[in-house]
């Protein structure tokens, strides 16, 4: 009886296995094989990319061909998002997208910072495609797509499609009648080439844009003079243009909004690519203007300004005129009495001996002809350069300082100075005679 019961339970167990195993087998068969190819904009394999699935620990790295292949269940009700990272910076994702079963095979174009630096240096260009549409997904025909600073431009066709050569150095400007201008870089156009990138434009909400109004917009705090001073402080001269001595004027047109904000700057007169970019940067960083007015009401107004690039040159330094030197001694030059000299030796002589000298006639004649004899000290007092203020003489005079030759001859002949007579300390007062 127990054996019969076991046989009766077998069908039940089989049914349980079917119901339990079927979902598991279905889940195993529901996994989708994803194949993503990561390339550089030059179509070279990008081998330094890591893929992470948000909410999962799954991580996959590109192989030497830039390909990532993995199986993942994408049939659940929850949509997982995959993010791509460069191995040089795992904290910042460069691209995120949903894992969709219908888009399991895709190609992405990603350029690392090192690649972009090389492309900028070489001014590498790439062919990009896109669509121009409004917010209602209607194509915009006749939109002007231009590469700022290069002169390259094109126009969208009847379905809003366009194609143009772009680069990393210059922004992509898109303008259309009645639409707000768009300014983009090349990155979104290069990330995925399976579908052309779509640019959506908004309708202008502030109404008409005036070209001429009764009160034109004005740069704050001084008008055009203040604008020129702003450019002197904020305009960055491109180093290469500075080295090549390139000068000129870039004309920039923009819209001054009703609140004074500057929008939609475009180049209307080109000069050189780097100089065009520098001019646009200076215009975008301007402070708010005083808006234009029509009939006393602030309106949107177009305005064009010249941005001049001129290499600064140093002004020549003024030549200094020599100043007359002042006499630091402040001596008054007195006229000298004429001196009658008889010969060349007497002209160079520094001494005129007195006739009543105590020297012998023979020695007197010899010293008269000697140009090295120095005059006595009392004769030097007649020199105009030695004029001094009178000094009050003390009661006891010090012995006179004489020239060494004079002192020698006085010693030779035994001539001595007189002893100074000191005044009597207690001199008697002589009474006056009656």
Reported as a pLDDT band with limits 50, 70 and 90, residue 410 is confident
For residue 220, count CB atoms less than 10 angstroms from its CB and return exposed for 0-12, middle for 13-18, buried for 19 or more. Answer: middle
Question: Is the residue at 186 inside a domain?
Answer: yes
CATH number for the domain spanning 143: value is 2.60.40.1120
Contact 32, 73 (CB under 8 A): yes
The per-residue pLDDT for range 190-232, each reduced to its tens digit, is 876 567 899 999 877 656 788 888 899 999 989 999 999 999 9
Percent of the chain with pLDDT over 90: 41
CATH number for the domain spanning 92: value is 2.60.40.10
Q: How many domains does the chain have?
A: 3
Give one word for 249, left, alpha or beta, with left for phi > 0 and alpha for psi -120 to 50.
Answer: beta
Question: Is the residue at 4 inside a domain?
Answer: no
Beta-ladder partners of 133 = 139, 200
CATH number for the domain spanning 214: value is 3.30.2420
Domain boundary among the residues 109, 131, 146 is at: 109
**Could you give phi then psi for residue 185, rounded to 5 degrees?**
-105, 180
What is the span of the domain harbouring residue 32?
A: 26-109
Question: What is the distance between the alpha carbons of residues 49 and 71, in angstroms, rounded to a whole number?
Answer: 18
Other CB atoms within 10 Å distance of the CB of residue 309? 20
Shared-domain flag, residues 215 and 304: yes
Q: What is the pTM of this model?
A: 0.43
The per-residue pLDDT for range 41-57, each reduced to its tens digit, is 888 999 999 999 988 88
Shared-domain flag, residues 193 and 222: no
């Amino acid at each position: 009886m127990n054996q019969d019961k076991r046989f009766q339970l077998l069908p039940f167990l089989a049914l349980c296995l079917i119901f339990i195993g079927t979902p598991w087998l279905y889940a195993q068969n529901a996994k989708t094989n994803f194949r993503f190819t990561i390339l550089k904009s030059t179509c070279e394999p990008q081998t330094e990319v890591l893929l992470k699935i948000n909410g999962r620990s799954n991580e996959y790295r590109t192989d030497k061909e830039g390909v990532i292949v993995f199986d993942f269940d994408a049939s659940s009700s929850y949509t997982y998002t995959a993010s791509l990272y460069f191995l040089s910076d795992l904290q910042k994702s460069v691209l995120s997208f949903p894992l969709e079963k219908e888009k399991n095979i895709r190609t992405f174009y990603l350029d690392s910072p090192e690649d972009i630096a090389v492309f900028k240096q070489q001014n590498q260009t790439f062919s990009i495609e896109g669509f121009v549409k409004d917010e209602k997904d209607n194509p915009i025909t006749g939109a002007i797509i231009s590469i700022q600073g290069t002169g390259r431009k094109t126009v969208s066709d009847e379905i809003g499609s366009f194609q143009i050569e772009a680069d990393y150095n210059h922004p992509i400007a898109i303008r259309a009648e009645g639409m707000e201008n768009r300014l983009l870089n090349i990155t979104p156009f290069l990330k995925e080439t399976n579908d052309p990138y779509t640019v959506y434009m908004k309708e202008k909400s502030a109404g008409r844009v005036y070209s001429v109004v009764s009160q034109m917009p004005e740069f704050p705090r001084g008008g055009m003079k203040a604008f020129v001073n702003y450019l002197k402080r904020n305009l960055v001269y491109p180093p290469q243009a500075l080295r090549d001595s390139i000068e000129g004027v870039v004309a920039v047109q923009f819209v001054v909004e009703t609140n004074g904000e500057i929008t939609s700057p475009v180049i209307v007169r080109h000069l050189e690519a780097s100089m065009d970019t520098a001019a646009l940067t200076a215009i975008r960083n301007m402070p708010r203007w005083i808006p234009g007015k029509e009939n006393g009401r602030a309106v949107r107004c177009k305005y064009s300004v010249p941005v001049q690039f001129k290499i600064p040159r140093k002004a020549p330094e003024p030549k200094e005129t020599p100043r007359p030197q002042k006499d630091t001694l402040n001596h008054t030059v007195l006229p000298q009495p004429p001196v009658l000299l008889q010969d060349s030796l007497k002209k160079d002589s520094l001494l005129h001996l007195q006739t009543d000298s105590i020297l012998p006639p023979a020695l007197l004649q010899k010293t008269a002809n000697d140009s090295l004899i120095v005059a006595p000290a009392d004769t030097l007092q007649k020199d105009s350069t030695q004029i001094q203020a009178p000094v009050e003489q003390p009661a006891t005079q010090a012995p006179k300082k004489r020239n060494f030759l004079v002192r020698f001859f006085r010693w030779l002949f035994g001539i001595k100075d007189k002893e100074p007579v000191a005044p009597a300390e207690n001199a008697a007062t002589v009474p006056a005679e009656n």
